[in-house]
Each structure stands twice: as structure tokens, then as C-alpha cells.
Structure 1
């Protein structure tokens, strides 16, 4: 399907540079239509605090922001961490207070604590999509085997598999029924040569959440591995990586983890790492290195002897990280740990229920299962998208508007007042 992009004033990159700035276009390659996010500058900043544990006071965005699935705001503490990191880049007097390796260690430990994974099962990556490419390459799926995925998998991943199919990779897409992807339908799609099931744990389209353990149990019984894109769940929903049985998972950090662009974390179960070959090699994989060509080296041949480090980093680690984003992530993961992912999930449930009850009364068709507990709820509409966008823009309410549906993603800093403001703007 040809995409029809709706452009409203500025480009996506300009918006990302100014974070939650003015009116912007935000086309997302959903395979369905273009989208744009409503701005947050039309209403004055809240003067009273709200949210879980009064958390609204820790953020500086203006208006009513119900758009965490697009790009979650960072807390002021995370912004301060980035500013402190910049002391190291400025080489000023504050640089001694910056500990980049310490930030990396802190973030990895907190990620493992939050999502039940060990440090040797985690590795830094540039993005979620890079991790999925590393899995496809590492399993040798271009040469042997096939993949099963579904229509709720991230559109960039579906694009990837479709392009790889032109090079010979075999894959099958499972369709949705009743706004869900059913485990039995995934099972029926598995063929004798299927080696991987690739899915998005929480759909960025409408918030459907897979039963990850059920999928993994079914897949492993058939000798198939599972990869999960967890970007729309990590940071807002409890995830048990060990308990689920998932082989591989990954997420970038600029959404619900409240990090920034340019870094992500990949998970590979310890027992599953042996199936991955190193498709890319770089210094972040370095373990033991002995040289025989530098000053004071002991003469020897070969001139360099190398051995990769253990764990996932020794398989997929490559090069330089966005250390400013790591500094923000180290702070944010600690913040999320203190709030508690169970508390975050429980906090938003009344907000989601209110939306599921009231939005149909305004003529919006639910796209999300009514029993869904993810942080995303979507509704279809017949109105002109630009007209709807303008109404929300005028009210200072930010959600993501697509050509014929809108996506609402409340976070822990939101309250019933925010939902009522959205509903009032749509009436």
C-alpha cells in the first residue's frame, strides 16, 4: 500500500530534537497509513501535581500528554543526568563526576532486576531492529529455515522480513482474529523448517499483548525459538524474561524506559546463546587480547592473539554507545524500580477502563480487546484525521492520530483529569 504522508509544519527529526515541541508531523510506517501526533503546547502547564506517587511533578511537558507509546517524556532527573554527562564532553571541572562505565553497569543491573535477566544475558545494541537483525543473521535464517510472525509485529520488522524474502528468506504472517493473535494460529503456521517465531509483545498498533509464556511453551515443544520485541511493554508492564522462556528479546530505550535515542538492550537466554553465530564483530566483544607488536611487548607470532568475552556481549557487542542516553537510562531505570512496574500497571487500569467505556459513546470503534491491560488503547473513526487533530491540538491534548484511528497511551503521571480532558476535546 502506498503511504500518504500528512505533513503538519515540522519534520519528525525536528520534533525529536526539540522533544515535545510544537505542531509536528510524525509519519510512522505502519503499513496502514500515515500518522501525526498532536502537540502539547496549546494548554498551560499543570500547576498542581498528580499521577502515581505525585509523579507529575517530575516532568516538564506542557498540556495533557497521553502519548507514551510514541515517545515517552524523560523526567527532569534523567535530563540532569544527560547534562552531567556533557561535562565529560566539555572536559570541564565537572568531568570527574562523570562515570560512563558506571552508568552502563548500573543500567544493565537495573534492567536485569526489573525484567529478571542476568548480566551475561544482556548486551548493548543501537536499536530494537538491529537486535532482530542480529538474531536473523545469527541463526543463519538467510540460508536455512523459516520465520513465523504476525500482523501485529512492528511494521519495520515486517518490512525487514519482506525485503529479506526477496533475497530468499522464507516467512509466514499470521493474521489477527477478534483483535488478537491466537496461539493456536501461530502453531498452525509452523512448518517443518520453522526455526523462529518473531513477535511484538505489546502491539504498537492497538495494544494487543501476547501471552509470551504460552507462545514460548508451544514453540519450544515444536523445537522453535522465539524473539520478542518488548519496546511497548518494557517500563510499563511487568516482564519476566526467565519465566516466560523467551529465547531472545530487545528494546530501544526512548519510549517507556525514559532513556533516549541511539541505545537499546538485547536479551538472549543463556542456553539459547549457543545458537547464535557472531555476524558482526567489534571491540565491545573483546575479552583477552595479547599483542606482540607494541613497545615492551614480548616478541611472538601471530602478532595479535584474541579471545571474545563471555556472555551475550561477546556475540553481539560491536562498537561505540550513546553514553548520554545511557546516563539518562541509568537514572530512569532506578526511577521505575522505585515506582514499581506492578504499581504502574495497576495505576493505569481505571484510565484504560474509562476510555473503553466512554470512547464508543463518542462514535469511536474499539480496536483493542476490552480485557487488555497493556498501556495502549486504540480506536477507529470515520472523521477527517486533520479535523480531529486540530480539535485535540486546540485542547492541548497529545495522542497519536492516524488516518482512520487514534492511539492513546497513558502513563503513570496521568490521571482521570487527563482522560476527561481528552474526552471533552473529542465531544
Structure 2
């Protein structure tokens, strides 16, 4: 049996999902598994009946999910804060570092997320100096990042796996170079978490964030921000809310103890006490707890190996058809991209065939996942071959 066949035999992926057609666009939105959907249904059923019981249960779900994600990226739960999205996490890191600051310098690259590039270019209007490194051979080397760092550099910001073309940074090498110059590193891990193995301890990354609706197979509205423990005490608290409190007492109602102030409180000292403000989406947390358990049970490296066979086939077949690859061939990520003038011309053919990939004006992106098979890949290759021959 081939490696692909053995992995399909060992890992029953497809029955965990209800996929319409050939879905090869999980880098955009990953389908939710039936088990996660069932968890959401159970939560909603309880919401129909009561409020208090759900509130008590979801607090445990939230703590359990955070602990599972901590295992997935090898950190402590106290180094994680719930955030609404990846970009909220990135903005919170900047605020915690005191940025924007006139005269400060930030290093990023053209493979970073488009919203992040907008963020950093906008900061230039507030006096921040920004270096955006262009891609060379579809990559950005650690050496080029090191060369871009200056005495006034306050942050290196990047996507561990680029949504643009699937390029994966050597995060440990980037962090080693930046730390040698006293500069922290932020990584957007939304296209990495659940898709490639992550070890924040081994890489040394200072901050990272992700939403959960992509390779973590959760839903919109919840995400994680990781802050390495030795940074927590040094960062500014950019916003305040009840989720940061360990205790809160009033002193103005009948029978309450007197105090110099009408209320007293004790704030926590971990990442959640620094960055969390209000409640996260409870239904999304319920779904996420299930999917994180599956990822840990199965192993991200195992899923990566299964997907790698499909990615290599796409790279080889589409290159032979004349498509210009934008993804480094050795990439182990979940994304493969190709340049194509007027790529939107593919849409009628794809729609008619029931195939979903990501189309842009002059490029397209394919991102297979655990529920895909080599038959899906060959179906897409055949369609693209017909497009070339027409």
C-alpha cells in the first residue's frame, strides 16, 4: 500500500465531514466537522432551555480548550489570552509594546497577511518607520530579516505560513537573529496552527496569534494570543475589562464590609489578565474543544504528511501544464499557489465541476486538507489541463 493509501486507511477523515463537491479551499475557511457541529447543537439546545447552567459549563469548556491549544503549540495556558481574531491579537501586541511610537522601526515582509501590511503601512503616517521585505524566489530568508534590523527596530512581524503562497518561515532562525539584536518577533500563525507542527518553546517566538476557523476547524469570533511568559510583566495593558479580574467586591450595599472605595478588585497576572476584556463566542468554543482534541489525538505531523503527497502532485502536475509556481517546492505547508493572468476566468469551469479553490485576479490558491483524496487532486488537474488546451 502507498504512503497515501496507508494514511487514508489509518486516518478516517472523510466521514468526519459533510463536504459538497470537491472542496480545496481550507486555507480560506476550513469546514467544521460533524462532531464539532454536534457540540454547537448541544450548546444551542441548552441555550434554549436555560442560561445559568450553560454559563457554568462554558467556563469549563473555555478553560479546557485553552489547555488543549497550549498543548498543541507547547506553551502554558497562562501564556494564552482569548481574542476575537488574529488581527486583534496583532494589534494588541503592538499596543502592549507601546507602538505606534514616532521613530520606531518595524520589519515585516510582503508575504505577511494583507491586513497586517495595511496595518504597518498605516503606522507610517504616525511616524513609524517600516521595512517591507520583498520576496526573492518566493521566499524571505532569515539573513535578509537580520540585515533589515536597525538599532531602533522594535518588532519583527511575519506570517509563519504565508496565506499568499504557503511559504513557511524558519521561525527559530528568525527569532535567533532578532533576539541577538534585542528585537522581539510576532508571528501570525493562522495558516500554521493545526496545519504544521508548532513549538513556541523551540522557536523562541515572543508573540503569536490565530483565529480558529481555518486549520483549527473551529468557527469565527474566537482566537488565541500567545505571549511568552517573560514578556507579560513588561507589556502595557492596552485595554481593561472584567475578564482580567480574579475577584471583584462591592462595599456600598447593605451588610457589606466598609472600604475606602465603593469597589475593590484583584487583577490577574497572566496573559488573559493582560489582554482579555469580555466574553468570547461560546458556541465557537464548544466546537473548538472538539476539533483541538482531534488534532492532538491524530497528530498535526501525521496530517501534514498526508497532505504533503497531494501538494507535491499539484506542484508537479501544474508546473508541467505551464502554470508559474508561487510556492517554494520544498514547502511543507497546506497551501500551493500559482500565477495566472486573469485567473477569474477559471470560475465558470470550477463552478460547473463543483470544485472550490481560491481565485484572485492573477493567481489561484489550492489548499487540500484531511478530507481530500488524490482523486480530488486529479479531478482539479484534469480540469486545469482542459483549461490550458482550450
What's the TM-score bracket when you normalise by the shorter of the two chains?
over 0.9
- CA distance in 2 between counterparts of 1:266 and 1:97 reads 23
Is this contact kept in 2: 1:363–1:381, CA < 8 A? no
Is the Cα–Cα contact under 8 Å of residues 114 and 337 in structure 1 kept in the other structure?
yes
Q: Does structure 2 retain, via aligned residues, the 8 Å contact 1:87–1:94?
A: no
Contact 2:106–2:153 (CA under 8 A) maintained in structure 1? yes
Mapped partners of 1:54, 1:265: distance in 2: 28
Tell me the residue number matched to 1:136: 94
CA offset at residue 94 of structure 1?
12
1:297 partnered with 2:278:
no
Aligned residue among 301, 304, 323 for 1:364: 323
5 Å-filtered alignment, 1:382-421, equals 382=341, 384-421=342-379
Q: Separation in 2 of the partners of 1:51 and 1:255?
A: 24
For residues 24-68 of structure 1, the C-alpha deviation after alignment (integer angstroms, 9 at most, x for no partner) is xxxxxxxxxxxxxxxxxxxxxxxxxx6861210110121111111
Give the match for residue 422 of structure 1. Answer: 380
Query: 1-side partners of 2:56 and 2:252: how far apart?
Result: 33
3-state DSSP of counterpart to 2:47:
helix
Structure 1 segment 55-94 matched on structure 2, within 5 A: 55-91=13-49
Counterpart Cα distance in 2 of 1:71 and 1:51: 26
Instruction: Find the aligned partners of 1:93 and 1:117 in 2 and give their Cα distance.
Output: 33
What is the CA-CA distance between 1:98 and the residue it aligns to? 7.8
TM-score in terms of structure 2 length? 0.93
In the comparison of the two structures, how many residue pairs are matched? 378
Residue 234 of structure 2 is aligned to residue 279 of structure 1: no
Aligned with 2:132: secondary structure? strand
Q: Say whether 1:204 aligns with 2:158.
A: no
Structure 1 portions without partners, runs of 5+: 1-49
On the 8 A contact 2:105/2:154 being kept in 1, the answer is yes
Aligned to 1:352: 311
Q: What's 1:310 paired with?
A: 269
Paired residue secondary structure (1:358): helix
Q: For residues 135-284 of structure 1, what are the structure 2 equivalents within 5 Å? A: 135-143=93-101, 145-284=104-243
> How far apart are the structure 2 equivalents of 1:394 and 1:98?
48
Distance 1:326 1:96 in 2: 12
Question: How far did 1:274 drift?
Answer: 2.4
How far 1:97 moved relative to its partner?
11
SS in 2 for 1:54: coil
Query: Does 1:112 find its partner at 2:70?
Result: yes
Match of 1:40 in 2: none
Are 2:281 and 1:322 equivalent residues in the alignment?
A: yes
Q: What is the RMSD computed on CA atoms of the aligned residues? A: 1.8
| Structure that is richer in helix per residue | 2
Structure 2: distance between partners of 1:273 and 1:307: 17
With over 3 angstroms needed to count, the CA separation of the structure-2 counterparts of 1:154 and 1:122, relative to structure 1, is same
Q: After TM superposition, which residue ranges in structure 1, 4 or more long, deviate above 3 angstroms? A: 92-98
How far off its partner does 1:195 sit?
1.3
State the distance in 2 between where 1:140 and 1:94 align.
39
8 Å CA contact 2:165, 2:365 repeated in 1: yes
Q: Report if aligned partners of 2:101, 2:128 keep a CA contact under 8 Å in 1.
A: yes
* Structure 1 contact 355–419 (Cα < 8 Å) conserved: yes
